Amino acid sequence: MMKKKIVLVGNGMAGVSCIEQLLKLAPNRYEITIFGSEPHPNYNRILLSSVLAGDAGMNDIVMNDWSWYEEHNITLHTGHTVTHIDKERKTVRTDMGITAEYDELILATGSLPFMLPLPGADKEGVIAFRDIKDCKAMMEAAKTYKKAVVIGGGLLGLEAARGLLNLHMDVSVVHINEYLMNLQLDRTASHMLQLELEKQGMKFLLKKNTETILGKKRVSGLRFTDGSEVEADLVVMAVGIRPNVALAKSSGIAINRGIVVNDYLETSVPGIYSIGECAEHRGVAYGLVAPLYEQGAVLAKRLAGVETAGYQGSVVSTKLKVSGVDVFSAGEYADKPETRAVRVQDDFEGIYKKVVIRDGKIIGAVLFGDISDGSRLFAMIRNGEDVTGKEKTVLLGESGTPAKSGAELIAAMSDDEVVCGCNGVSKGAIVQAIQEKGCSSVGEIKACTKASASCGGCKPLVADVLTYVLGAEGVKTVKEGMCGCTPLGRDEVVESIRSMRLTTSKEVMNVLEWSNPEGCSKCRPALNYYLGMVWPEEHADERESRFVNERNHANIQKDGTYSVVPRMYGGVTTPKDLKRIAEIAEKYEVPLVKMTGGQRIDLLGIKKEDLPGMWADLDMPSGYAYGKSLRTVKTCVGSTFCRFGTQDAMGMGIQLEKKFERLNTPAKVKMAVSGCPRNCAEATIKDFGVVAIDGGWELHIGGNGGTKLRGTDLLCKVKTEEEVLEWSGAFLQYYRETGKYNERTAEWIERIGLEQVKAALAAKEDRDALNGRIDKTLDLMKDPWKEIIEQQELRQTFVPMEEQSAESII
């Protein structure tokens, strides 16, 4: 039977969650196509504040990596904005010219940040806080500028402010209201929050209405309607969002504030549905994640042909996640004439709890400092539990004990109720994982369902579900290892590989009893690296475990084309190679030829089908711009031409690059060689830096010039080029053998300590042993792109052009 076609417009949390649930209910019913405007896979937008604060990396917030789309035969178009819907022909068209047919269409276009229409709002340095691009812009600005102003004292504004504080900026929060988070907190909780955030260094300008943004080309400050001013190098607007309804409006679909939908999430046009922040149900457009997942669950059932009562609206809760303060709010928290409240306040411990009751039922709650009752109270609010006659026990308990245990409250929850708001995991999904897959710990639940895999705030509730189903004696307390598939850490896994002589990922997963026998996107590439590091001769590289960019030997760009970077040893080239590159750029009509920061030439805009022919015509080794390997060795001209140079920097750089090219490492490695202490090659922010001095060389390690800037540590001083090669080989092998997969040397040094590295490399016999192992590995290495071309296999290794590795969003 021919499958029906579903097109999802929007690759965000709401839409993809709906597709996930649909795949579980009817895995073979639809042919699925997804369009996303951003050049990334599905990621957790609510954790951007954690990325900004430095608590998570970009990889950590990816919810469905590129392989997930491939595994489920989903056609994904990233960097494409759908601009037209033909309701008669049932097709959609993108700004990049792609047209797709549909039988069912889901609009999950999300929302847009509201930018105040202030004079000067178009100045450089005025941004929103909504996506990865905004996050990167703030990180970049923090490298140069120091004074930041956040307009908006709500949840998003405070999270942005906390992140900017972590980036060492001077941060002021401007709020038009007289107290913070006035849409989520009462005055008491807000005042306590403000005091705590002021201790952290945040400044507040309350009851301030911005009149204009000052500055010439770039923002220099704000002027308020009362005439006062504040200096600013960066202004972040976090004053709210508005549903993105432009596509629906231009297509003649009914809109109000959002895209109007009924209880089955259907718009005014049959066969076209809408969910998420762009949808308006019964006059409400939700901006929090839990309602969006609830909508997706209803729509998935509808599309799968499963009976459902329809979406009835949502009771929402809020949690402040990254400001170092625990705050919880749910339901109707404000005092009104028809409500009464139970309050507990302890100024010494910084704890405040308030429960609002109307007609004998809890309708809202605010918790500050201690939010352990949050899940229990939220369940009571949602269930409409009658507490008449026992109002005080809701917070105070009877004889000092809670009125009900967490497990007892779980019993009152329906299976459709969401336990993990970040990932939209319901109670029913967790119970199913326990009963059908044998999960008996929070870690196993996380691996099976993603519950608690993001912010972790729902872990107590997940534990309560486990206790409810298995009883306290049936719940395992298991430490989490290198991923949710195993409790074993990196060192334990590597030691088992050595001692048990395991040579394939399948062997590791089977012998070490992985909970997920197929592994996950986190452990598969890590195991492939560890196996290759331990057994360079026995282990055959598992290409299917590598990130897609590594399999394609090119970096995909946001428009679906590729970037090709030939290697230029030490940044040095020849007229012959330049001529060849120029001729090939003309032959393949390369749209952009650019010099990179690593002193190489980048050919951008290459079509997927042109990659094999281009590499064959170039006949040059790959620069590994996509690999977890040596990327570049940056050099200055050194003593060859420069009057300040004391050593041959170019020659040294070329030796290093030729020796270590193609070497697999835990993460990307960048090197540099400077010909004198003026350090023009920026060697002191590289993973391995070499600086020439009179009569020798300084060797520097553990630098990073990225978002987490780190200067190098001095490893040692040596006299000869031979010693540079000896120490560099020993250093790289020690990093290879002790580093965690995806851990840059800067993080590695912070974890294990400089003194341990020095001690490991101090003895000549230890350096020789390390070099012996790295030389053995290097002797076995081949240039994979050339081998594949020779075997005419490159075309078979490509996956759809819309897919790329999760690491490319960094």
DSSP string, 236-251: EE-S-EEE--HHHHHT
646's tokens: 């004391």
pLDDT for 33: 97
Distance from C-alpha of 36 to C-alpha of 82, rounded to nearest angstrom: 8
Instruction: Give one DSSP letter per residue of 562-580, joined into a string.
Output: EEE-B--GGG---HHHHHH
- CB contact at 8 A, 378 and 317: yes
- The distance of Cα 199 from the centroid of its chain, to the nearest Å, equals 29
Distance CA 508, CA 399 (A): 52
Query: What single-letter amino acid sits at 224?
Result: F
Neighbouring-strand partners of residue 223: 212, 229
For residues 339 and 363, the answer to whether their CB atoms sit within 8 Å is yes
Beta bridge partners of 84: 93
- What backbone phi and psi angles, to 5 degrees, belong to 112? -120, 145
Classify the C-alpha dihedral 509-512-513-519 as positive or negative: negative
Looking at the DSSP bridge assignments, the partners of residue 230 are 222
Burial of 203 (0-12, 13-18, 19+ CB in 10 A): middle
Fill in the DSSP letter of residue 547. -
- Give the separation between CA 489 and CA 19, rounded to whole angstroms: 33
Q: What is the pLDDT of residue 548?
A: 64
> How many angstroms separate the CA atoms of 138 and 159, rounded?
13
pTM over 0.75: no
Distance CA 426, CA 413 (A): 10
CA distance 636 to 634: 7
Cβ pair 630, 663 in contact under 8 A: yes
Please report, for residues 121, 123, 497, 705, the alpha-carbon distance to residue 217 in angstroms, rounded to integers and kept in the order given: 11, 6, 58, 27
Helix (H) or strand (E) holding 33: strand 30-36
Closest to 484 measured CA to CA, from 514, 529, 512, 506:
514
Q: What is the DSSP string of 738-776?
A: HSPTT--HHHHHHHH-HHHHHHHHHSHHHHHHHHHHHHH
What are the Cα distances from residue 759, in Å, to 151, 518, 554, 763, 771? 50, 39, 38, 8, 16
* 3-state secondary structure at position 117: coil
- How big is the chain, counted in residues? 810
What's the 3-state SS for 154-191? CHHHHHHHHHHHHCCCEEEEEECCCCCCCCCCCHHHHH
Phi-psi region of 152 (alpha: psi -120 to 50; beta: other; left: phi over 0): left
For 617, half-sphere exposure in the C-beta direction (CA atoms, 13 angstrom radius) is: 16
DSSP 8-state assignment for residue 193 = H
Take residue 568 and report the two structure tokens written for it: 């230029």
Q: How many CB atoms lie within 10 A of CB 155?
A: 25
CA dist., res. 375 & res. 141, Å (int): 38
DSSP, res 677: T
- Considering only CA atoms, which of 20, 695, 94 is closest in space to residue 304? 20
Q: Which residues contact 148 (CB under 8 A, 6 or more apart)?
A: 138, 141, 142, 161, 164, 169, 170, 171, 172, 232, 233, 234, 235, 236
User: Reduced to 3 DSSP states, what percent helix, strand and coil does the chain have, rounded to the nearest 5?
Assistant: 35, 25, 40
CA dihedral 748, 750, 751, 756 (to 10 degrees): 90
Q: Is residue 167 within 8 Å of residue 143, measured between CB atoms? A: no
Evaluate whether 155 touches 320 at the Cβ level (below 8 Å): yes
Question: Which has the closest alpha carbon to 16: 292, 322, 307?
Answer: 292
SS3 (DSSP) at 635? strand
Q: What is the 3-state secondary structure (H, E, C) of 269-311?
A: CCCEEECCCCEEECCECCCCHHHHHHHHHHHHHHHHCCCCCCC
Residue where the block lists tokens 């090659």: 681
Helix axes 459-470, 427-437, angle to 10 degrees: 50
pLDDT, averaged in runs of 10, over the chain (810 residues):
91 94 93 94 84 72 86 92 96 95 97 93 94 89 94 90 90 95 91 91 95 96 96 94 95 96 97 97 89 92 93 80 73 90 89 93 91 79 84 68 57 74 80 88 82 73 86 75 84 93 92 85 89 91 75 72 88 92 93 90 88 88 87 93 91 94 93 94 95 94 85 95 96 96 93 94 95 92 54 39 32
Burial of 309 per CB tally in 10 Å (0-12, 13-18, 19+): exposed
Task: Give the position of tokens 């709401």.
Answer: 14
Q: Which domains can be identified in the chain, with CATH numbers?
A: 4-110+243-304 (3.50.50.60), 126-239 (3.50.50.60), 416-478 (1.10.10.1100), 490-545 (no CATH), 627-782 (3.30.413.10)
* Residue whose C-alpha is closest to residue 37's, from 79, 92, 97: 79
Q: Provide the token pair at 263.
A: 């209880």
The DSSP code for 539 is P
Burial bucket for residue 589 (CB in 10 Å: 0-12, 13-18, 19+): exposed
